[in-house]
Amino acid sequence: MCGIVGYIGDRNASELLVESLKRLEYRGYDSSGLALISNNGISTIKEAGRIAILENRLMESPIEAHIGIAHTRWATHGAPTTLNAHPHTSSDGSVAVVHNGIIENYLELKEELHEQGISCVSDTDTEVVAHLAALLWDGDGVSTLRSVVRKLEGSFALAMLHVSSQDAIFVTRKDSPLVVGIGDDEMFLASDVTALLSYTRNFYFLEDYHIARVDRQGANFFDMELNSISLTPVETTWDLFAAEKEGFDHFMLKEMMEQPKVVVDTIRPRITHDRKAVRFDSIDLDETKIGQIDKIFITACGTAYHAGMVAKYLFEHMAQIPVEVEFASEFRYRKPLVNHRTLVIVISQSGETADTLAALREAKKLGARVLAIVNTVGSSIAREADDVIFTWAGPEIAVASTKAYIAQLSVIHLLAVHLATIRRTMNALEIKNYLEELERIPDKIDIILEQRDVVRQLAKRFAHGSDIFFIGRGFDYNIALEGSLKLKEISYIHSEAYAAGELKHGTIALIEEGTFVAALCTQSEMVEKMISNIKEVKARGAQVLGITCERTPQISQVADMTLYLPDTPDALVPILAVVPLQLFAYYCAIERGCDVDKPRNLAKSVTVE
């Protein structure tokens, strides 16, 4: 959500900043802007709408500069207008700032500024930061930024320019990500490493309340007492091509097509050669520690939450340990029953999801051990968790998560085997058979992806409907939730997912002639029950797409259309079953003319509550 970039060096700053902003478009935004320091002082250019508008303006009136900051804004305080776009400047023009996050006490600060004769011209919470920085300027950017931060409540990643320090950018953060990229006689900064992969692979990751002075020779870091601190650079293995479309029409399609490789990359290094065990190098959960745990609590948001629901079934069935799953946005407000005997698992693609990070901190405060499943090395959640398992999905650019979700499920299956091995709830033969089946999953995903033309035709048939329902039982209900979310996210079709057994308890009243129902039937023990549910909705006029395994041909006898998945053990089918639902959502969005990679009102990384 929102994006920050900054540069100092010998290159044309405006061109580099615009190109870097483009790489952050996937995060969601509705306006953009930049601030440059040149011989004429600080120049600020900003526009509502797409970055292309800003780029055209700069082409018409180029500015020669070698230092600058830039921003893509996703509106929270104030409408998405040019006036409310970042950067924001002080009344005297001496300061320009960009900001991700929310300043919770901005109204009080506005009143303080007003009492000193300083009025804000925008509706944003960020503008107060620029005025405060100008008011508190003491000749040094680091100490001034420290003074500003002490007055702020809320979350922030801040980058500041001052007209008196034309050779440096000053930055700080709290609860919102910010990285400093390392170059050769040039330095970069961004809210996401993907913005800078064209220029560097080496980054400093700021911790909360770190303050940095960044010049072309490097960066100096300080704590809130202005003590100098040392940070270790981190090299990312993500490459530029992974963040490009590579000939695909959309990032989402490219990322779906990458899913077989993602599963291989995620599971292969962690399965022993004899397939008798799973090895995680990055976690310290041995037999003693697992023996001290009497409950697992999983917390996440959105798609990651759906992965957590699959995990609940797996951990309880395979490792025989009780599991609760809760939305991260609700976790710390419900006074969860968490203590030192609880393992809390947090799941996040970005590692910066604000609600999930808050849940992690609450869990640690309550004495729990926290295990994070994340995709981004160096992220806040990865750094603050006690143990981390990385999903190795590479950069995911489309707002709607596909390959990151598949990677999360892959890790969850490995973790289920690991826990079952330690707790001795699976024997050696069961473990070997399970891991062998897991290793076959990538080839089976390939088979499903090859059916995408069939899915495209289904999407053309139903893309212009007003309501679509997804039903399933057990694992299939969890996957139905994810399929429904994907459809809503990118096609804007109203869709709902229901546990099929609940149809008669009210939901069936919504089924009428022509209603489209996607019925997942992949669980062996649920076939007869699902056939009954399919008949119930068809009796009310529904058009039914059955999604089932090849071993269940009888579904085609009751459904209007049937998509078959390769036969797979019930517990592993969720990794396969979600793929046709991802494709269906994608092709529905295409048919409706939607912006697939950047759906309206949504952001990739939700860094505010």
Distance CA 167, CA 258 (A): 43
Q: Cβ–Cβ contacts within 10 Å for residue 109, how many? A: 21
Residues in the chain: 609
Q: Which residues contact 149 (CB under 8 A, 6 or more apart)?
A: 156, 158, 172, 174, 209, 211, 224
Active site residue 2: yes
Beta bridge pairs of residue 5: 70, 190
C-alpha dihedral (342, 348, 353, 355), degrees to nearest 10 = -30
Q: Scanning the structure block, which residue is given the tokens 């679509």?
A: 468
Tokens of residue 309, six digits: 């629901």
The continuous run of DSSP H or E covering 500 comes out as: none
Burial 492-510 (b: 16+ CB within 10 A, else e): ebebbbbbbbebeeebbee
Element (H, E) at 137: none
Q: Which of 110, 174, 598, 604 is catalytic?
A: 604
Q: Is 151 a catalytic residue?
A: no
How far apart are alpha carbons 50 and 374 in whole angstroms?
Answer: 30
The closest alpha carbon to 403, from 449, 438, 345, 358, belongs to 449
77 vs 414: CA distance, rounded Å: 43
Q: Which helix (H) or strand (E) holds 182?
A: strand 179-182
DSSP reduced 3-state for 571: helix
Query: Active-site positions?
Result: 2, 604
